[in-house]
Chain A
């Protein structure tokens, strides 16, 4: 169990930071932003899930991920709108609006996937 947690941490951390460094290599801010929504956690999780729990379990996780990603779209649009219109503090805005992601993803899960 402990080994699996350490392995997940290292693989997840490496893939996430790799994608973010890649995003930083592009000059256009909105293009670099694409990499902020790269499937980094998904790749790390799925590769480990496939080895441990099999393809069916990984497939079910991927189905739920669609709802999580839809919530990410809503969250990112809300962040864009509030930062562009009200020029609020970035860390406070992006952190506070995570509530939007949680509410949307759980709502979609309860309505469509439960």
Chain B
């Protein structure tokens, strides 16, 4: 069984500069707010906001909007598909957030004793590995379950 991830450079062309600007704005605001909260109320409370889903509502809305536009171009009603596309995006985000917990754990344990640049690179790699492994495992389980059901129906 093979599970492929398709890299599509045309995705960049589909993204408008205004959409990138919105994400830039939200990202900047949350980073500033996190810093200010940490300064005012300490690192305990400030650290929570390093995992705030800042751009998620904007990003998911854009995913839904793109899906809706594609459906409209095809002459179909796209509202249901748009919600489904955003739900899939959120499902991926849940797996990415588990990786985010591992990122935090690596940084928490290693930052005081190790080279900080290496720790941040290592934590980033840990996030990626955990997120991708979870995604792959879920896909593998779903694919095998679907195949089993399909096979049984044929019999």
Question: Which residues of A approach B to under 8 Å, CB–CB?
Answer: 4-5, 8-17, 20-21, 23-50, 53, 55-73, 75-77, 79-80, 83-84, 87-88, 90-91, 94-95, 98, 101, 105-106, 109, 113-114
Contacts and interface: CB of A to CB of B under 8 A. Distances in A.
B52 interface: yes
Interface string B9-52: 10110110000110111111111101110100011111111111
Given A12-B32, A32-B89, A36-B89, A76 B83 contact: no
Contact of A30 (B42, B52, B89, B97): B89
A41 B107 CA distance: 14
A58 to B, nearest CB: 5
User: Which of B48, B82, B135 gathers most chain A CB within 10 Å?
Assistant: B48
B87 interface: yes
Contact of B51 (A42, A46, A60, A113): A42
B100 A42 contact: yes
Given A39-B123, A83-B90, A109 B45 contact: yes
A55 to B, nearest CB: 5
A75 B94 CA distance: 8
Interface string B40-80: 00111111111111111101110110000000000000011
B108 A59 contact: yes
Interface string B87-107: 111111111111111011101
A66 B105 contact: yes
A113 B93 CA distance: 24
Given A28-B6, A32-B92, A41 B52 contact: yes
Given A32-B63, A71-B51, 16 more contacts: A8-B28, A8-B31, A16-B31, A26-B11, A37-B94, A37-B96, A39-B100, A49-B38, A61-B47, A63-B44, A65-B103, A68-B51, A72-B52, A76-B90, A76-B93, A87-B80
Contacts of A48: 35
B104 A42 contact: yes
Contacts of B30: 12, 16, 41
14 contacts: A12-B32, A14-B27, A17-B20, A21-B15, A25-B9, A25-B12, A33-B90, A37-B92, A42-B107, A45-B46, A68-B51, A69-B103, A79-B60, A87-B79
